[in-house]
């Protein structure tokens, strides 16, 4: 533009100059010379303008070409970034298929392979208790103490979808003990095979998880059922869980005690089994859906086996009130039967069982068929309205005082009675001080802060009767115990 203006101005000026000169053409020769000079100047200017125009046009393609190259370069970079993102997403998707899954919730830690062929769960149970005994003056019975009642890391898992396992040691006692170590194969819910060390399928309260008992300790009736045993059982849930069964062969366990060694000294196997039915579980009668009943039993034959006899029946405060004499051995058939049942409806829970433990016992030259019996009934009411169940209470409003949430509260009570066969009321079969009868009642309150933390306090009183000879420090007076517990379960 400026060039054009310059050109026009130059030419116009030149024209005026030429015109002025032309008007005075007749003047003299110097004017002609000036005109010639001006013409030369005009030609030079004209050439300069041409050169400038040529330069300008030459510059424009180079600029365009450089812009194009930049655009292409940027285009490539964008495409590379997009493609890299695609590849990263593909790689992430492929990696996700092999990445292990980790879950952490109220039921513990669970680790699973991406294909879920390997699943491991880490759970735990810690129970920190206190016991305070209230004795009559001058009679020392029981020790007031704090104790770590249970400290169990619980390792569970499933391999290849159908094989479950459980390994549970307990560090709460004076020495570590392996409580559970078993593998369970699930062909389907109706047919499963379990083998290893696990709870014998007899007692209802025994089979309930330690985490969800009404009270700190199980009842007197629990003294007569086998605890954990070594063996294998077939078991399953039928008709969608309406009925359940278990039947197995085991080493054989004395009343309550868990076999402390891995060997079965009497070379005889024991049979144990249980059937339990919840007939209304699938019905529309909601008030009866939580009703269940069944029967468990066992049979074994001991042969002069000291280990076949109970190490002693214990009170709620875990004091031994009955043992067999040192000379007594289990010798002959030992059978048990336990009709049992429970009922849960809303906040109400009720559990009861009756146990007969009939055992042939020999002491010296004398042999007796002793039939010991026990029964118990336990119940609870969740004051805050949550549902009670065989598997515990889950608070609707976990403890959070800043938001006015106080967890779940439950009051509980129970009564239990145990009777040793009166034939044992002599020092041939039971040492002096052993009580052949014990009756106990308990009341308490449970506070479920959340599904994992529970506090409780309870009071138990056990009275004794039919004492062999002179009463011992344990059986001389009723046992009165105040329990507290802090429990962590996950």
- Which of 83/282 has CB closer to other proteins? 83
Across 176-198, b (16+ Cβ under 10 Å) vs e yields eeebbbbbbebeeeeebebebbb
Supply the minimum distance, in Å, between the C-beta of residue 71 and other proteins.
14
361: part of which helix (H) or strand (E)? strand 348-363
Supply the minimum distance, in Å, between the C-beta of residue 340 and other proteins.
48
- Which of 25/81 has CB closer to other proteins? 81
Q: Which part of the chain contacts other proteins (CB under 8 A), choosing from 86-94, 176-184, 259-267, 330-338? A: 86-94
SS3 content of the chain, % helix, strand, coil (to 5): 25, 45, 30
Q: What Rg, from alpha-carbon coordinates, does the chain have? A: 46
Q: DSSP per residue over 16-62, as a string? A: HHHHHHHHTTTS-HHHHHHHHHHHHHHHHHHHHHHHHHHHHHHHHHH
Q: How far apart are CA 216 and CA 485, in angstroms?
A: 7
Structure tokens at 487: 């429990």
Supply the minimum distance, in Å, between the C-beta of residue 158 and other proteins.
20
12: part of which helix (H) or strand (E)? helix 2-23
DSSP 3-state assignment of 283? coil
Supply the minimum distance, in Å, between the C-beta of residue 80 and other proteins.
5
Pick the binder of other proteins from 44, 56, 79, 103 (CB under 8 A).
Answer: 79
Tell whether residue 83 is a contact of other proteins (CB under 8 A). Answer: yes
Q: Which part of the chain contacts other proteins (CB under 8 A), choosing from 83-91, 127-135, 363-371, 380-388? A: 83-91
Place of tokens 């020392």: 140
DSSP 3-state assignment of 71? helix
- Number of amino acids touching other proteins (CB under 8 A): 9
Binding mask 88-117 for other proteins (x = CB under 8 A): --xx--------------------------
Supply the minimum distance, in Å, between the C-beta of residue 67 and other proteins.
16
Q: Which part of the chain contacts other proteins (CB under 8 A), choosing from 3-11, 81-89, 378-386, 433-441? A: 81-89
Q: Is 339 in contact with 369 (CB distance < 8 Å)? A: no
- Which of 34/67 has CB closer to other proteins? 67
Structure tokens at 398: 């976990």
Pick the binder of other proteins from 24, 46, 67, 82 (CB under 8 A).
Answer: 82
Pick the binder of other proteins from 80, 95, 191, 473 (CB under 8 A).
Answer: 80
Binding site for other proteins (CB under 8 A): 76, 79-80, 82-84, 87, 90-91
């Amino acid at each position: 533009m400026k060039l054009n203006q310059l050109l026009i101005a130059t030419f116009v000026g030149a024209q005026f100059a030429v015109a002025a000169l032309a008007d005075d053409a007749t003047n003299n020769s110097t004017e002609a010379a000036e005109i010639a000079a001006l013409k030369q100047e005009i030609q030079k200017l004209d050439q300069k303008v041409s050169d400038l125009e040529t330069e300008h046009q030459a510059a424009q393609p180079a600029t365009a070409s450089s812009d194009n190259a930049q655009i292409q370069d940027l285009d490539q970079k964008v495409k590379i970034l997009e493609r890299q993102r695609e590849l990263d997403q593909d790689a992430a998707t492929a990696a996700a298929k092999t990445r292990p899954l980790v879950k952490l919730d109220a039921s513990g830690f669970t680790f699973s392979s991406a294909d879920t062929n390997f699943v491991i769960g880490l759970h735990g149970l810690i129970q920190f208790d206190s016991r305070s005994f209230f004795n009559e003056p001058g009679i020392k019975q029981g020790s007031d103490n704090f104790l770590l009642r249970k400290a169990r890391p619980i390792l569970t898992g499933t391999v290849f979808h159908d094989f479950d396992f459980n390994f549970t040691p307990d560090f709460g006692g004076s020495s570590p003990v392996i409580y559970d170590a078993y593998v369970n194969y699930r062909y389907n819910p109706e047919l499963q095979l379990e083998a290893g060390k696990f709870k014998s399928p007899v007692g209802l309260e025994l089979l309930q998880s330690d985490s969800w008992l009404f009270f700190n300790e199980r009842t007197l009736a629990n003294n007569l059922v086998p605890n954990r045993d070594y063996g294998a059982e077939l078991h399953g849930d039928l008709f969608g869980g309406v009925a359940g069964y278990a039947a197995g062969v085991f080493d054989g366990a004395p009343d309550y005690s868990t076999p402390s060694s891995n060997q079965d000294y009497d070379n005889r196997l024991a049979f144990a089994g249980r059937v339990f039915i919840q007939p209304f579980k699938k019905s529309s009668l909601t008030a009866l859906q939580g009703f269940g009943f069944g029967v468990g039993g066992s049979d074994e034959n001991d042969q002069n086996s000291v280990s076949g006899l109970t190490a002693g029946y214990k009170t709620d405060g875990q004091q031994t009130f009955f043992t067999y004499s040192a000379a007594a051995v289990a010798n002959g058939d030992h059978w048990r039967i336990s009709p049992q049942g429970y009922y849960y409806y809303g906040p109400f829970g009720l559990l009861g069982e009756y146990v007969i433990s009939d055992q042939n016992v020999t002491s010296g030259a004398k042999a007796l068929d002793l039939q010991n019996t026990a029964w118990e009934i336990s119940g609870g009411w969740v004051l805050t309205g949550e549902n009670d169940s065989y598997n515990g209470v889950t608070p609707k409003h976990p403890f959070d005082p800043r938001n006015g949430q106080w967890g779940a509260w439950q009051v509980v009570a129970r009564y239990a009675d145990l009777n040793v066969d009166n034939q044992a009321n002599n020092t041939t079969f039971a040492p002096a001080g052993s009580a052949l009868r014990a009756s106990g009642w308990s009341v308490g309150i449970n506070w479920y802060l959340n599904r994992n933390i529970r506090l409780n306090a309870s009071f138990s009183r056990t009275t004794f009767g039919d004492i062999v000879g002179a009463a011992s420090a344990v059986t001389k007076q009723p046992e009165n115990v105040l329990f507290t517990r802090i429990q962590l379960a996950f």
